[in-house]
Amino acid sequence: MKKIVLGAGRIGQTIARDLATDSDVQVHVVDRDDDALSRLAPIPNITVETADLSDASSVRRRVAGFDQAISVVPGHMGFETLRKIIEAGVDAIDIAFFPEDPFALDAAAKRHGVTAIVDCGVAPGLSHLLVSRAMRRLEDVERIRIEVGGLPVARHQPFEYASVFSPADVIEEYTRPAHIVRNGKPLALPALSEVEAVEVPGIGTLEAFLTDGLRTLTRTIDAPFMEEKTLRYPGHASLMRIFRDAGFFDTTPVHLFGGSVRPLDLSSRLLSRAWRLPDNGEDLTILRVAVQGTSPSGMRQVLYTMLDRYDPETQTTSMARTTGYTATAASRLLAATTNMGSGITPPERLGAFPEHTVLMLEELRRHGVTIHESETVVSDPRERR
């Protein structure tokens, strides 16, 4: 089987290295960064190609003839990249987290006989898979809450944050409205809003704030209350609101000294230095998925928790592990499944099939990514707010 990985950042490299361990798979990686590609070129089963993937017209030509394409491009390139993959008739795993509606490509995917598993990282991705798994244990689901965060172990003022993927995509989380559901009605609220303190065992007090991570869940799941919140060290949300409200994340060009620049582009470049996780720097990823609903024994909550850490043996960041290995698990599942059907497939639809969930969770466990599951009775009305 021939698989092409579009993007060779930390997560793209993790995906390529993992897929290349399958002796019957040939992996081809495309990126414009020669240094990143040079780290992959010596690995058996991997070939590399230098190219600018921002030229969407060239994507279709490059993916043609492959069995699968795994898109790890920045979010602003994601939708058009996936469109070109679909037009080439190639099955896709996508973790680009683009702002457009992925179901806008559903008709095209079906027309070309393509299965495109979208939003297939840690959250969205693994989180959605776990929501579906919990729903099989409940009758009427009332409430879904997802908390997720990737953080550096070493905290440094003023940001106390480090990014292991595109800073522009992180900024997008802080500017894109958060789509949630309350009292059965969809709402769009400002990102970075409704900040609250949460306690995470083994980590301590973090802050949680609304971001736009529910994605397809607002269309595929019928629950009166749904929200996702991002986790950071306390104070980060306030600082990011100052940057955002002052215009540092604006996309309208500012004219300066005879030229022009988008504030977002300059801020992304500067923050990529300030947020850079050093080589061998340790990070951690937290995921909590709580699903409440009725069961024969009353109102219950199914809770999934994950606390993953940097792997010093393979020098792989936790965010690359949890995101990348979810994507490679989906890639292997897609290759092994003949009845997936064509069209846009969000992870929660994979989770509706017990055998698919088992395979993906076993793949993650094989890499040391462990999900803890518990179920409790919800008796205090305050717990159901």
Cα-based torsion angle of the residue sequence 329, 291, 170, 277 in order, rounded to the nearest 10 degrees: -60
Q: What's the mean pLDDT in 116-129?
A: 97
Question: Domain map of the chain by residue range?
Answer: 2-118, 126-319+368-384
Which pLDDT band, with edges at 50, 70 and 90, does 384 fall under? very low
Q: What's the mean pLDDT in 50-64?
A: 91
pLDDT at 57: 81
Query: pLDDT tens digit string along 280-319?
Result: 789 999 999 999 999 888 899 999 999 999 999 999 999 9
Q: Which CATH architecture has domain 2-118?
A: 3-Layer(aba) Sandwich (3.40)
Sign of the alpha-carbon dihedral angle for 11, 13, 15, 21: negative
pLDDT at 141: 95
Instruction: Classify 240 as helix, strand or coil.
Output: helix
Q: Which numeric CATH code is attached to 126-319+368-384?
A: 3.30.360.10
* Among 367, 289, 331, 287, CA closest to 120: 331
Instruction: Classify 167 as helix, strand or coil.
Output: helix
Query: pLDDT tens digit string along 140-190?
Result: 999 999 999 999 999 999 999 998 778 889 999 999 999 999 999 999 999
Q: Which of 38-47, 156-165, 361-370 has the least mean pLDDT? A: 156-165
Q: What's the mean pLDDT in 2-6?
A: 98
pLDDT at 340 over 90: no
Pairing of strands 178-182, 298-309: unpaired
Name the helix (H) or strand (E) containing 181.
strand 178-182
Name the helix (H) or strand (E) containing 58.
helix 56-63
